[in-house]
Structure 1
Amino acid sequence: MLRYVLSRFVSLVVSLIVASIVIFVVIEIVPGDPAAFMLGVNARPDTVAALRAELGLDVSKVERYFAWITGMVQGDLGTSYTYRAPISEIVADRIWVSLPLAIYALLLSTLIAFPAGIYAASRRGSVGDMGVMGATQLGVAIPNFWFAMIMVGIFAIKLRWFSAGGFPGWDNGFWSGIKALTLPAIALALPQAAILARVMRSSLLDMLGEDFMRTARAKGLTRRQALWKHAVRNALIPVLTIIGLQFSFLLAGGIVIEQVFFLPGLGRLIFQSISARDLIVVESVVMLLVFLVIVVNFAVDLAYAVVDPRLRTKR
């Protein structure tokens, strides 16, 4: 088990190093000068040069990379060109929108997908199975921003149960914040629930055809007991992979939903920073999201060892 954990940790560190290099290179090759963009087309060359020196853009890209990485390791994400404030403070304000939204959406996705996938697999070929698969096919085909606009039209404009957008802040109460995130979370969760339900059904059907299931039935277990005691647990390994990837997507890929609902989260921050050519914010926030994604996948790998005993004894 220790060897397995260490190997996963080494993989985590290597992934972070490679990701930091890729992010820095991709952001740096974007055309345009942030200093010139901030000052406008009529700015004097000496003024642009002075601002570049102030922003630390007058040194080589290698020096900037190592300065950026060193700062991130020490918890210093840099200073925003646009906001003229520490990026860590900006992120601290925004992450308390994006992170609860991702967790809320993942919880809804799991609560929808697990029962649907298990129900469909246990009734393979029935009308219920076909109904679940038809619904999941629809969920996969329809983009989440379309769900978002439909829900705004129904629940915000017509029924007036929820607000059409914005976030009141957690200072106004937990339930007020949850209510503001409900429609965005559902819009994010539905397509992911469709994917997860299909994976759950497929994995469970594979388990139901295994020899150990026939052995369990031969020992006297009912079909329901064998399903819940043996099949479901063994079917969770590929499902855990999808859950980890979905959390990564929900955390880093909610930019469209945050734009639709005017949520002040990390996704909207990245969009605004790209528009303002605030490259240091884009680099630092994307790297932070990548770090969270890799850590989540690391946790999923550890969860494999809990679900699959073979990994705990692997040498």
Structure 2
Amino acid sequence: MQRYILKRTGSLILSLLVASLVIFTVIEIVPGDPASFMLGINAQPETLAALRAELGLDASKVGRYFAWVGGMLTGDFGTSYTYRTPVTEMVADRIGVSIPLALYALVLSVLIALPAGLYAASRRGQAGDLGVLGATQMGVAIPNFWFAMMLVLVFAIHWRWFPAGGFPGWEQGFWACVQALTLPAIALALPQAAILTRVMRSALLEVLGEDFMRTARAKGLSARQTLWRHGLRNAMIPVLTIVGLQFSFLFAGTIIIEQVFYLPGLGRLIFQSISARDLIVVESVVMLIVFGVILINFLVDLAYAAVDPRLRNRT
């Protein structure tokens, strides 16, 4: 197990290094200069040069890369070009929206997918199974931002059960914030629930064909008892793995949904920073999200190895 952990740790560090190089390189080659954007096209060369020096843009790209990485290792993500505010403070203000939204969407995804997958597997080839498969196909094919707009039209504009956008802040009360996050969470959860339902169904069907399931039936257990007592437990390993991976996707994939619902989260911060050419904010926030995704995948690998000794013995 120690060897497995060391290998996964080395892979995590290498992934973070490659990710930082890719993020910095891609953002640096994007056309447009932040100083020119802030001062306008009629700025004097001397003023432009002074602002570039103030922002640290006159240094070499290699020097800026190592300064950026070194700052992140010490918890310093730099200072926003536009707001002149430490990026760490901006992230701290926004992460209280993005993480609860991702967790809320994950819970909804699991609550939808597990019963649906169980229902489809228990009725393989019947009308109920085909109906679930058709619904999941739609869920995978339709973009979540389309779901978001339909939810706003129906539940916010027509029925007025939920707000159409915005976030009141946690100081305004827990239920007010949950209400504001409900429609965005549903829009994020539906496509992921469709994927998880298919995984749950496939895992259960595979388990139902095992010898121990037939033995349980031969001992007198009903089909329902066999499914609940033996099938569900053994089918949960691949499902839990997908759940962990889905949380990392939800955490990183809120940019469009936060923009649709005007939520002050990390996704909307990235969108606003790209529009303002605030490169240090874009680099730091994207790197933070990538770190979260890689760390979650790392923890999922460790959890999977802990419950399945065959995996760590092969690696």
TM-score band w.r.t. shorter chain: over 0.9
Measured after TM superposition, the shift of residue 220 of structure 1 is 5.0
Report the equivalent of 2:79. 79
Name which of structure 1's ranges 301-310 and 51-60 shifts more when overlaid on structure 2.
301-310
Report the equivalent of 2:96. 96
Q: Distance in 1 between matches of 2:46 and 2:237?
A: 60
Contact 1:148/1:257 (<8 A) preserved: yes
Contact 1:233/1:307 (<8 A) preserved: no
Report the equivalent of 2:269. 269
Contact 1:4/1:311 (<8 A) preserved: no
Contact 2:245/2:300 (<8 A) preserved: no
Measured after TM superposition, the shift of residue 133 of structure 1 is 1.1
Report the equivalent of 1:165. 165
* Structure 1: tracts of 5 or more residues without a match: none
Show the 5 A alignment for 1:32-51.
Answer: 32-51=32-51
Report the equivalent of 2:131. 131
Q: Distance in 2 between matches of 1:79 and 1:148?
A: 33
Q: Which runs of 4+ in 1 moved over 6 A?
A: none
Q: Distance in 1 between matches of 2:83 and 2:300?
A: 36
Contact 1:234/1:308 (<8 A) preserved: no
Percent of aligned pairs with the same amino acid: 76
Do residues 70 (structure 1) and 70 (structure 2) align?
yes
Secondary structure of 2:75's partner? coil
Report the equivalent of 2:59. 59
Against the structure 1 CA distance between its residues 122 and 251, is the aligned structure 2 distance closer, same or farther, given a 3 Å change threshold? same
Provide Cα deviations, 1:2-28, integer angstroms capped at 9, x if missing partner.
332222222211111111111111111
Measured after TM superposition, the shift of residue 63 of structure 1 is 0.7
Report the equivalent of 2:209. 209
Against the structure 1 CA distance between its residues 2 and 221, is the aligned structure 2 distance closer, same or farther, given a 3 Å change threshold? farther
Report the equivalent of 1:24. 24
Measured after TM superposition, the shift of residue 223 of structure 1 is 3.2
Report the equivalent of 1:245. 245
Q: Distance in 1 between matches of 2:3 and 2:214?
A: 34
Report the equivalent of 2:8. 8
Measured after TM superposition, the shift of residue 249 of structure 1 is 1.9
Secondary structure of 2:136's partner? helix
Secondary structure of 2:274's partner? helix
Report the equivalent of 1:292. 292
Against the structure 1 CA distance between its residues 115 and 69, is the aligned structure 2 distance closer, same or farther, given a 3 Å change threshold? same
Alignment-mate amino acid for residue 231 of structure 1: G
Report the equivalent of 1:196. 196
Against the structure 1 CA distance between its residues 224 and 308, is the aligned structure 2 distance closer, same or farther, given a 3 Å change threshold? farther
Do residues 223 (structure 1) and 223 (structure 2) align?
yes
Measured after TM superposition, the shift of residue 224 of structure 1 is 3.2
Measured after TM superposition, the shift of residue 299 of structure 1 is 1.5
TM-score (norm 2): 0.95
Alignment-mate amino acid for residue 118 of structure 2: I
Q: Distance in 1 between matches of 2:187 and 2:262?
A: 14
Alignment-mate amino acid for residue 69 of structure 2: I
Measured after TM superposition, the shift of residue 311 of structure 1 is 4.0
Alignment-mate amino acid for residue 286 of structure 2: V
The alignment's C-alpha RMSD in Å is 1.7
Against the structure 1 CA distance between its residues 217 and 308, is the aligned structure 2 distance closer, same or farther, given a 3 Å change threshold? farther
Against the structure 1 CA distance between its residues 7 and 223, is the aligned structure 2 distance closer, same or farther, given a 3 Å change threshold? farther
Measured after TM superposition, the shift of residue 115 of structure 1 is 1.0
Measured after TM superposition, the shift of residue 185 of structure 1 is 0.4
Name which of structure 1's ranges 215-224 and 301-310 shifts more when overlaid on structure 2.
215-224
Report the equivalent of 1:232. 232
Measured after TM superposition, the shift of residue 123 of structure 1 is 1.4
Name which of structure 1's ranges 136-145 and 100-109 shifts more when overlaid on structure 2.
136-145
Q: Distance in 1 between matches of 2:220 and 2:153?
A: 53
Q: Distance in 1 between matches of 2:207 and 2:218?
A: 16
TM-score (norm 1): 0.95
Provide Cα deviations, 1:27-76, integer angstroms capped at 9, x if missing partner.
11111111111111001111111111111111111111110001001000
Secondary structure of 1:31's partner? coil
Alignment-mate amino acid for residue 66 of structure 2: F
Alignment-mate amino acid for residue 233 of structure 1: R
Q: Distance in 1 between matches of 2:228 and 2:312?
A: 23
Report the equivalent of 2:110. 110
